[in-house]
Structures are given as C-alpha cells and as structure tokens.
Amino acid sequence: MVGGFIVAGFRGVIGTMWTMQDEDGAPLADTFYTHLFANDRKPQASDTAKALQLSVRKMRDAGLPPKNWVPFIHVGI
C-alpha cells in the first residue's frame, strides 16, 4: 500500500510492515502531527521521517514492548 502512495506522487509515506496494535494509533498520530505542525508551520514531506522517529521513540521510552513500535516504516524522502 505504501508503494501505491509513492507512485501516486506522495513524497513521504508512513505505513506498517504488519498489523499494529489499535491502541497505539491515536498516541502515535498525536506525536507525529504535533511535530509536523509545530510552531504553526506548514508541514513538509521531508519532516515525515523525523516525525515518525519521534513517535516511535516516545512509544519505546514509555516502555511499550517491541511488537507495539517495530511495525512502523517510512518510505520516501
């Protein structure tokens, strides 16, 4: 699915390698979008990898097991 978004013209895409835990979606998205829209700036495709890394790091620091934070990937710039 991620490859389809890249082919369609998206410059940076996040996805999962396998099923994620439902309860992780909202906190991950909150951290991700907080970084992308920090300081009222317009989000840039080049910021998506860093935003995902920060989101996954927050999950790891919270002590969640690897099955919760390992599936996430970034494809693109």
Q: Can you tell me the distance from the alpha carbon of 28 to that of 5, in angstroms, rounded to the nearest whole number?
A: 20
Query: How much is the average pLDDT of 55-65?
Result: 97
The pLDDT score that the predictor gives to residue 25 is: 95
- For residues 32-47, average pLDDT: 88
Which token pair is 46?
């080049």
Segment 66-74 mean pLDDT: 95
What is the predicted pLDDT for the residue at 46?
84
> Would the pLDDT of 1 be above 80?
no
Q: Any idea where the domains of the chain sit in the sequence?
A: 2-76
Segments of 1-77 assigned E as strands: 12-16, 72-76
Per-residue pLDDT tens for 6-25? 889 888 889 999 999 999 99
The sign of the CA dihedral 43, 44, 48, 49 is: negative
Q: What is the pTM of this model?
A: 0.86
Output b/e per residue, 14-34; b: 16+ Cβ within 10 A. beeeeebeeebeeebeebbee
